[in-house]
A and B are shown apart, each in its own frame.
Chain A
Amino acid sequence: QVHLVESGGGVVQPGRSLRLSCAASGFTFSNHAMHWVRQAPGKGLEWVALTSYDGTYKYSADSVKGRFTISRDNSKNSLYLQMDSLRPEDTAVYYCAGDRNYFSYGIMDYWGQGTLVTVSS
């Protein structure tokens, strides 16, 4: 059974940093592109970033470009999101999602339960 478990969320002041982690099990992690998707309270889904199966290709949304960095460690079946220079508008539940393919076409087969990040002074 597929499990994606996010961790690392919490309350952080504007301008500070936070690192999210996602532990994967139940599927061959190294065969799948991976995403971070966020959802602000009461709002819709917003794609944040993706990495190809081997970490070679990485893309991010304009709203986080230059501030957030996605990475993965296939030896640990783990996905990460380094979030720097956080802003109040980054407040959201952050989901880790597994893509159907090696390289992403946005088909998110697997989802974690999400971790809440609150940016507030």
Chain B
Amino acid sequence: QSALTQPASVSGSPGQSITISCTGTSSDVGGYNYVSWYQQLPGKAPKLMIYDVTSRPSGISNRFSGSKSGNTASLTISGLQAEDEADYFCNSYTSSSTVIFGGGTKLTVL
């Protein structure tokens, strides 16, 4: 199964909002509300930022939000800050009871 499709890179200036997309199929993203988003800082383990498409774990800033339309999920970061510069990955539950990740998006804060 191929990875979910994410843009390789996005960028934005401090204070702006950016959106990262994550496109799959009806067998994963489109079929279930089980999309999660992870932030990975250089040299660190990933960190859960969003789960169940729109939910935030305790301690995650409300500047991070998630949404989904059809087979595409999105992560929006508002009020961009320098510390948000990182790699972002989406994943989804699949119809085979497995998990699939996106290829990852490098966020650059200009």
Contact = CB atoms under 8 A, between A and B. Distances in A.
B101 A46 contact: yes
Given A45-B38, A47-B99, A109 B104 contact: no
A109 B34 contact: no
Interface in B1-24: 1, 3
Interface string B60-86: 000000000000000000000000000
Nearest to A62: B1
A35 B3 CA distance: 17
How large, as a class, is the contact surface on chain A?
Answer: 20 to 34
A35 B36 CA distance: 14
Contacts of B47: 111
A95 B93 CA distance: 18
B45 A106 contact: no
A45 B97 contact: no
Contacts, number: 68
Interface string A32-45: 00010100000011
Contact of A105 (B32, B38, B57, B89): B32
Contact of A107 (B36, B87, B103): B36
Nearest to B98: A59
Given A47-B99, A104-B97, A107-B34, 20 more contacts: A44-B89, A44-B101, A44-B104, A45-B38, A45-B40, A45-B91, A45-B101, A45-B104, A46-B3, A47-B91, A50-B98, A97-B46, A100-B51, A106-B34, A106-B91, A106-B93, A107-B36, A108-B91, A112-B45, A113-B45
Interface of A: 35, 37, 44-47, 50, 57, 59-62, 95, 97, 100, 104-109, 111-114
